Structure 1
Amino acid sequence: MAQDSGDFASDYQFWLQKLSVWEQASAREVQQDTCLYLSQFQEFLRQMYEVLKEMDSNTVMERFPTIGQLLAKICCNPLILAYDESQKILIWCLCCLINKVPQNSGESEPNFWIWGLLSHMLSAFRYDVKEVGLFTEILGYEPVDYYPSLLKNMVLSLVSELRESHLNGFNTQSRKKIVLPASSVVSLWLRHLPSLERATLHLFEKLLSRERWCLCLRRIECCIKDSLLPQAACHPAIFRIVDEMFRFALLETDGAPQVLAVLQVFTRCFVEALEKENKQPKFTFKTYFPYASPSLTAVLSQHPEAIPHGHRLQPLLYTSQLLREAVEEETPESHRSSFESWFLFVHFGGWVDMVMKQLLRSEPEPPTALLWLLAFYYSPRDESQQRAQTVVELRAVFNRLMILLRSDPLSAMDLQAEAGESPSTDPTAPVCGQLVRRLFLNFLLWAPEGHKIAEEAVTRMARTDAITHEIIGFLNQTLYRWDHLCVEAPRSEKLARALLKELQAQV
């Protein structure tokens, strides 16, 4: 910057004077002069950005007190803005002037002025702007082709440069985000589908990496809320698009636990935003899930944690009945209905947790309906006969677990044998193995007898990296839900955190 500062100061004064002349943009000779000098002016814009990006906003205003006057003249010149490359660099320059951490109203005021200029740039072009006619003729465009292309390039540039607070490789001061008003973001997403798709894909990339998956879900929740997607999804059109992308992610990953967990956190954030926004609901819940059974949607949209402990069995049995009716009817639409019902069910992970807890209280015989719910959740593609066999195997595992529970002393080695055992299926089958491990992990956390052997049992269970990550994910989800539900289980929570810390140290 130092070697160019003298040249830049000289160029700065030259272009400030030139822009004052160009303010008479309606005169034909001025239009011709602008077109003649435009490539040189664009080079000056690039030079200005290279200078500005090295300073904070206060330093910029001290060094160049007329910078606002210069930028305002540029933003009001339709011939300059008609060239999308100039717009892009101008956006970078304006963003350099934003005070990322304003301390008072005096420092906030310039930010509003800058947002005003950006808004003007986005709304300035209409088909009746005559001043750019000469410019479009020189470029060889017809207005009907030029304006849509210009707006598309401008929006793509703005979305790209503001994403993750990076402006052409430049990190904003103190890695603070440049936050657009939520209403503006929603308006952009409603009118420009690619930007919504990119925002959703970018969120997936951030959250589904192995490193992120090892973080607590509270931090993942913060990332999701910062994306503004849950708030924007209160509009059914946006929700449907984001939800479709989750659908494809689940299909592509064969229902990976990481994707399920992120979907469930997103759904919780969405429902929270919906309840906050809709004091008087604008849309029924059915609007957001049009392909699922209305009765099932109504049941699952309730908060399971709000149901008193002594009254939880009945809604679970009813949920199981509705799902079985939707899934096991022999109709041409049954396959689609099966997936849609499962897709709706997995949005609300709290119901599966409730099934697990209810089973541990179901001595001497666990209800078939609850075992069926677990089999369906973990293996939705099974046919009715396969699922019935899984239910039989789960019942046998559960009964053996109850026998172990009554043994004295309880052995972690015996528990490990049960966790990897299945009477008639491959012991390494991922679905059955994962389901049994979830059941046993819930037992270890909730049963006082399980606390004594939990550390040894989990160490024996986590015999591969994949299973270790699976257990880390389970503990993360459990602690996240307990935190949200304000569950008062000090011993269980302390145990879960200790196990999580130990396993995270191993990966």
Structure 2
Amino acid sequence: MAQDSGGLFSDYQFWMCKLSVWGQASTLETQQDTCHHLPQFQEFLRQMYEALKEMDSSTVIERFPTIDQLLAKTCWNPFILAYDESQKFLIWCLCCLINKEPQNSGELKLNSWTRRLLSHILSAFRLNIKEVGLFTQSLGYAPVDYYPSLLKNMVLSLLSELRENHLNGFNTQRQMAPERVRSLSRVCVPLVTLPDFEPLVEALLTYHGHEPQEMLWPEFFDAVNEAFLLKKISLSKSAIVCLWLRHLPSLEKAMLHLFEKLTSSERNFLRRIECFIKDSLLPEAACHPAIFRMVDEMFRYALLETDGAPEVLATIQVFTWCFVETLEKENKQLKFTLKTYFPYASPSLVMVLLQYPKDIPQSLWHQPLKHISEMLREIVEDQTHRSYGGPFESWFLFVHFGGWADIAAEQLLMSEGEPPDALLWLLAFSYSPRDGSQKRAQTMVEVKSVLGRLMKLLRRPTLSARELQTAAGESQGGDPRPPACRQLIRCLLLNFLLWAPGGHAVAREVIALMAQTDEVTHEIIGFLDQTLYRWDRLCVEAPTSRKLARELLTELHAKV
């Protein structure tokens, strides 16, 4: 809002008095006074709209009980309505009064009244209002009946004009002139939230002429996108795809809107992130490869800007799950089309990453993990595969299917004998993709050593927290290992607590020793949430471990 509610309410009272004095500006004195104050009144209407658009219709009536009188007086003053700016702000204010799901007779009555005023505004300056009145009276119609029908018929007429005509089997393609389409989109800017105009909005979004340049006004795209993001309009998937394909700023705003929802509230669990993502319609729209590529590029920038923030990593992973689920419903030949979405990645690697663990027996999960690790290692460390990008590109691809890294950590604790080098490399790369081969090898040696000590404790029925802390290589004087290595070892230790029989009894004590900072506490919360989310998706049966993970998550979340 341009000013506080107190100032706006004071202005509201002032202009209500002015409008009552002006009436229909029938005298020279009222006409002059109207013209003199018109710029200030137009600014007041703009501020009113900024306030009204943040409220639902019932709140509007509660805050401004005489709003209908103010807007009606404005509508019937020809010296105000003669100006485009006045019409625009007035229409916007009226659209805010429309309740898309009226619950009672009062709301139905308000909707009907509002539509009549909108019809009046749209028709009054196309034909002389007196001529319209005489014409409708001669046909036996009262204005109360005529104006709503005029609005609907106007929309139907424009819809039929936009559509191609087919006569006798021959396509006559009577295309609307580009200038008219552009003008129509401009007229619709303040009307996009009006239910009667939704068919026309959809038709404009999906209309394609033969012009090389975009025909629709950028402001039209902006208005439709804002209305969609704020749930003020319902559009089909095809219309949204057209909107985001034709106007990249709208897609960027949709992504920013999603990120704002994810960061503006308390720390989000993955189930909540999934709801936000599905509600955004982005996974469905991303089935169009061009939109997927643009969305993916925005995720890449977000990842780089936040230096791989856990929240961004989780969002990319959940988005990919939602996207793949949607794509599978629409395209049964999924594995043959993914190269369209990941054109710079190894097609065989994408196909292996895409294998859904739920469809593979748990005893065989080590096989695709080994294959993924070998393929990634060859691409990252073999100079002959630079066509697939550097380590970051391979890691960014792996992030999309990051559930495999979590499974690898579990598999390391469950494997018999020596920890497989393939899984060690996969985890070392996943947690620190920037490391070179030598540094990654050092991490693998450190993790292998920790795993060896943990495996000796795995079958023991009773354990102490200090024993586990020592096995993890932590000491009172601090941990000299790189941050990524420490994080990886914490992941293994947390998995140990969930799976080892003796780990359950000391889990709270061990976590209390680990969670010495808010950063580590949030990391542990993220691990537990992601583990439960993955178990649910894969239908992992581990009732005791699941119960412990839920309890720990609830307790830690209550502390932060």
Whether 2:256 is the aligned partner of 1:255: answer no
Residues 89-168 of structure 1: pairs in structure 2 closer than 5 A: 90-100=91-101, 126-128=178-180, 151-160=217-226, 162=227, 165=230
Give the superposition deviation at 1:496.
0.8
- Residue number in structure 1 paired with 2:232: 178
- Residue number in structure 2 paired with 1:446: 499
> Which of 479, 482, 488 does residue 429 from structure 1 map onto?
482
Q: Aligned in 2, Cα 1:4/1:94: closer, same or farther, shift over 3 Å?
A: same
Q: 1:352, 1:374 within 8 Å by CA — same for their partners in 2?
A: yes
Give the superposition deviation at 1:276.
2.7
**Distance in 1 separating the partners of 2:155 and 2:98:** 15
- Residue number in structure 2 paired with 1:319: 372
Residues 38-117 of structure 1: pairs in structure 2 closer than 5 A: 42=42, 46=46, 49=49, 55-56=57-58, 86-87=87-88, 90-100=91-101
Q: Could you list the per-position Cα deviations for residues 125-175 of structure 1 after superposition, in whole angstroms to 9, with x for gaps in the alignment?
A: 95259999xxxxxxxxxxxxxx98992234335544x3763xxxxxxxxxx
- Residue number in structure 1 paired with 2:344: 291
Residues 75-474 of structure 1: pairs in structure 2 closer than 5 A: 86-87=87-88, 90-100=91-101, 126-128=178-180, 151-160=217-226, 162=227, 165=230, 177-183=231-237, 184-208=239-263, 212-213=266-267, 215-278=268-331, 284-331=337-384, 333=386, 336-407=389-460, 409-421=462-474, 427-474=480-527
Q: 1:233, 1:239 within 8 Å by CA — same for their partners in 2?
A: yes
Which amino acid counterpart does residue 243 of structure 2 have in structure 1?
Answer: L
- Residue number in structure 1 paired with 2:535: 482
Q: 2:289, 2:341 within 8 Å by CA — same for their partners in 1?
A: yes
TM-score (norm 1): 0.75
Q: Give 5+ residue unaligned stretches, structure 1.
A: 18-34, 133-146, 166-176
Q: Could you list the per-position Cα deviations for residues 81-104 of structure 1 after superposition, in whole angstroms to 9, with x for gaps in the alignment?
A: 6x5x85465334313313246689
- Residue number in structure 2 paired with 1:31: none
Task: Report the 3-state secondary structure (helix = DSSP H, G, I; strand = E; otherwise coil) of the residue aligned with 1:212.
Answer: coil
Task: Report the 3-state secondary structure (helix = DSSP H, G, I; strand = E; otherwise coil) of the residue aligned with 1:201.
Answer: helix
Comparing 445-454 with 276-285, greater Cα deviation is found at 276-285
Give the superposition deviation at 1:418.
3.2
**Distance in 2 separating the partners of 1:373 and 1:12:** 77
Task: Report the 3-state secondary structure (helix = DSSP H, G, I; strand = E; otherwise coil) of the residue aligned with 2:179.
Answer: coil
Q: Aligned in 2, Cα 1:467/1:194: closer, same or farther, shift over 3 Å?
A: same
Q: CA RMSD for the aligned pairs?
A: 4.7
**Distance in 1 separating the partners of 2:415 and 2:183:** 78
Q: Aligned in 2, Cα 1:158/1:498: closer, same or farther, shift over 3 Å?
A: same
**Distance in 2 separating the partners of 1:356 and 1:265:** 19
Which amino acid counterpart does residue 290 of structure 2 have in structure 1?
Answer: A
**Distance in 1 separating the partners of 2:110 and 2:370:** 59
Q: Aligned in 2, Cα 1:40/1:299: closer, same or farther, shift over 3 Å?
A: same
Q: 2:57, 2:99 within 8 Å by CA — same for their partners in 1?
A: no
Q: Give 5+ residue unaligned stretches, structure 2.
A: 1-8, 27-34, 119-150, 163-175, 185-212
TM-score (norm 2): 0.68
Bigger radius of gyration, 1 or 2?
Answer: 2
Q: 2:178, 2:215 within 8 Å by CA — same for their partners in 1?
A: no
Q: 1:38, 1:80 within 8 Å by CA — same for their partners in 2?
A: no
Which amino acid counterpart does residue 531 of structure 2 have in structure 1?
Answer: T
Q: Could you list the per-position Cα deviations for residues 227-249 of structure 1 after superposition, in whole angstroms to 9, with x for gaps in the alignment?
A: 11111111111111111111112
Percent identity over the alignment?
Answer: 54
Comparing 178-187 with 260-269, greater Cα deviation is found at 178-187
**Distance in 1 separating the partners of 2:385 and 2:418:** 36
Q: 1:421, 1:427 within 8 Å by CA — same for their partners in 2?
A: no
Number of residue pairs matched by the alignment: 455
**Distance in 2 separating the partners of 1:430 and 1:413:** 21
Give the superposition deviation at 1:4.
6.3
Q: Aligned in 2, Cα 1:103/1:331: closer, same or farther, shift over 3 Å?
A: farther
**Distance in 1 separating the partners of 2:310 and 2:369:** 22
**Distance in 2 separating the partners of 1:3 and 1:478:** 58
